[in-house]
């Protein structure tokens, strides 16, 4: 390591709150699936900023839209109209088949906004007595880091010493439709769930789960809120992960890849009157729906479709999954994934996943461990067959070693 690399890392550690434990690489440039560190070493990015850079690093068309818009107008606040918001609404509604859109910035803000909206819908439309609204969530969920959201996390690390928390949430197991049926009461306004639990280690529910969930929600007048912040926009090989089961959520949350990694842009989408309950002054955000965000998101959505990235995610995801399954290694407990949202779960005796990620780094691959024993793999959706094969060779070389 050169002294400059040590300086960046040491200076971060000295001044920064230590709420992250990054792999020891300092990145300074990115293009497509590749990133380069300050010493000029090249890596295949198999994290894509937790799926925010699905369109590939520094996509030229998103970059051009951002620069062009930054020259014209960046922020007006919602006190005035701007000439990008309507176009963003029109295009995201056309893409996703939604009727109403609420633009926000971070993913957690979209989740918070959805919680506020479904509660309001519960009181004003469903007729739940004031203050009694219940929202059902799943064990091992990840919906962000704000106080409201960590309050219904089941991870002690995520919640610990951050309370007291807001009431009104009920936790059930993920992938268990009878548990949902048992948890619904007349005061239940929504079921908030990830189509695939990403942070929990790419946990895919049993086939038919969401069909049952959809039926239960409809039968009980409960809003199905799908957090597609990570699974959405092509990551799983379909535009939205809900399409794998042919269902439609009442409320869909998007973020991350909505800006292709250029800028925080999130959105709450609804195909009913949930967002319709919000009146002027009841919710907002200084930066939400700003012209720069809208121009960037419009370009990010456009290239996703125009350049066939969703179909590519399905194709390359299948290739990657097959290749991982073909690796014969005692270290591997399970390989799973859908589209380009993949994970290798190691046997506990094989040692910590972080050691494998560090070994992958030395071979030119950046991947991230999650929950001690799982390596998560989520490259940009522009990855080619040759690049998948290149990655697989390296995964095979590392996974057949023992780092216990
Ligand atoms: C990343 C993520 C969030 C939070 O998004 P932020 O932009 O980090 O606030 C919420 N839900 C899911 C499923 C996520 O993956």
* Tens-place pLDDT, residues 205-259: 999 999 999 999 999 999 999 999 999 999 999 999 999 999 999 999 999 999 9
Is residue 256 within 8 A of residue 107, CB to CB? The reply is yes
Which tens digits make up the pLDDT trace of 121-139?
999 999 999 999 999 999 9
Q: Is the pLDDT of residue 267 over 60?
A: yes
Q: Which neighbouring-strand residues pair with 137?
A: 171
* Percentages (nearest 5) of helix, strand, coil residues in the chain: 40, 20, 40
Task: Decide: residue 99, CB within 10 A, 0-12 exposed, 13-18 middle, 19+ buried.
Answer: middle
Is residue 387 within 8 A of residue 44, CB to CB? The reply is yes
If you measure from the C-alpha of residue 236 to the centroid of ligand 1, how many angstroms do you get, rounded to a whole number? Answer: 16
- At 5, is the pLDDT very low, low, confident or very high (cuts 50, 70, 90)? low
State how far the Cα of 37 lies from the Cα of 25, in Å rounded to an integer.
Answer: 7
**Run of H or E including 66:** helix 60-72
State how far the Cα of 37 lies from the Cα of 22, in Å rounded to an integer.
Answer: 14
The catalytic residue among 100, 120, 238, 256 is 256
Pocket of ligand 1 (CB under 6 A): 50, 106-108, 111, 142-144, 194, 198, 227, 229-230, 255-256
If you measure from the C-alpha of residue 228 to the centroid of ligand 1, how many angstroms do you get, rounded to a whole number? Answer: 9
* Total-model pTM: 0.97
Q: Which of 250, 136, 163, 157 is nearest to 200 (CA)?
A: 157
- At 114, is the pLDDT very low, low, confident or very high (cuts 50, 70, 90)? very high
Instruction: Ligand 1 pocket test: pick from 150, 230, 249 the residue with the most ligand atoms within 8 Å of its Cβ.
Output: 230
256 given a catalytic annotation: yes
Q: Which of 72, 62, 7 is nearest to 30 (CA)?
A: 62
Query: Residue 403: what pLDDT?
Result: 80
Q: Which of 341, 317, 345, 322 is nearest to 257 (CA)?
A: 341
Who's near 61: CB < 8 A, 6+ residues apart?
Answer: 299, 302, 303
* Tally of CB atoms within 10 A around 118: 28
Lowest mean pLDDT among 65-69, 115-119, 340-344, 346-350: 346-350
Average pLDDT over residues 22-48: 97
DSSP 166: -
Q: Please, what are the domains in the chain?
A: 3-58+308-399 (3.90.1150.10), 60-306 (3.40.640.10)
If you measure from the C-alpha of residue 230 to the centroid of ligand 1, how many angstroms do you get, rounded to a whole number? Answer: 7
State how far the Cα of 350 lies from the Cα of 356, in Å rounded to an integer.
Answer: 10
403 given a catalytic annotation: no
Query: Residue 2: what pLDDT?
Result: 56
Average pLDDT over residues 362-389: 96
If you measure from the C-alpha of residue 305 to the centroid of ligand 1, how many angstroms do you get, rounded to a whole number? Answer: 22
């Amino acid at each position: 390591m050169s002294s400059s690399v040590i300086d960046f890392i040491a200076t971060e550690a000295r001044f920064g709150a230590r709420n992250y434990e990054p792999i020891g690489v300092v990145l300074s440039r990115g293009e497509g699936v590749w990133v380069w560190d300050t010493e000029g070493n090249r890596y295949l990015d198999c994290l894509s900023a937790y799926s925010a850079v699905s369109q590939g690093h520094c996509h030229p068309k998103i970059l051009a839209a951002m620069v062009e818009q930054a020259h014209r107008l960046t922020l007006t606040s919602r006190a005035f109209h701007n000439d990008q918001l309507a176009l963003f609404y029109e295009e995201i509604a056309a893409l996703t088949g939604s009727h109403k859109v609420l633009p926000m910035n971070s993913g957690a803000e979209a989740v918070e906004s959805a919680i506020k909206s479904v509660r309001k819908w519960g009181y004003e439309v469903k007729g739940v007595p004031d203050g009694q609204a219940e929202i059902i969530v799943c064990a091992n969920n990840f919906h962000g880091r704000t106080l409201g959201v960590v309050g219904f996390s089941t991870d002690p690390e995520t919640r610990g010493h951050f309370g007291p928390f807001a009431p009104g949430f009920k936790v059930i197991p993920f992938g268990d439709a009878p548990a949902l049926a048992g948890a619904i009461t007349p005061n239940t306004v929504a079921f908030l769930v990830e189509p695939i639990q990403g942070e929990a280690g790419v946990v895919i529910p049993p086939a038919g789960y969401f069909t049952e969930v959809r039926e239960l929600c409809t039968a009980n007048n409960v809003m199905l809120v799908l957090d597609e912040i990570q699974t959405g926009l092509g990551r799983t090989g379909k535009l939205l992960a809900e399409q794998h089961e042919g269902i439609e959520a009442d409320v869909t949350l998007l973020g991350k890849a909505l800006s292709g990694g250029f800028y925080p842009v999130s959105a709450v989408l609804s195909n009913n009157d949930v967002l319709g309950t919000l009146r002027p002054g009841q919710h907002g955000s200084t930066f939400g729906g700003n012209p720069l965000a809208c121009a960037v998101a419009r370009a990010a959505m456009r290239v996703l479709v125009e350049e066939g990235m969703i179909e590519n995610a399905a194709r390359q995801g299948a290739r990657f999954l097959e290749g991982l399954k073909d690796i014969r290694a005692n270290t591997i407990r399970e390989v799973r994934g859908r589209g380009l949202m993949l994970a290798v779960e190691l046997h506990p005796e094989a040692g910590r996943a972080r050691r494998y990620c560090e070994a992958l780094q030395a071979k030119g691959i950046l991947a991230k461990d999650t929950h001690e024993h799982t390596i998560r793999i989520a490259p940009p959706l522009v990855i080619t067959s040759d690049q998948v094969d290149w990655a697989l060779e390296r995964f095979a070389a590392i996974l057949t070693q023992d780092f216990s």
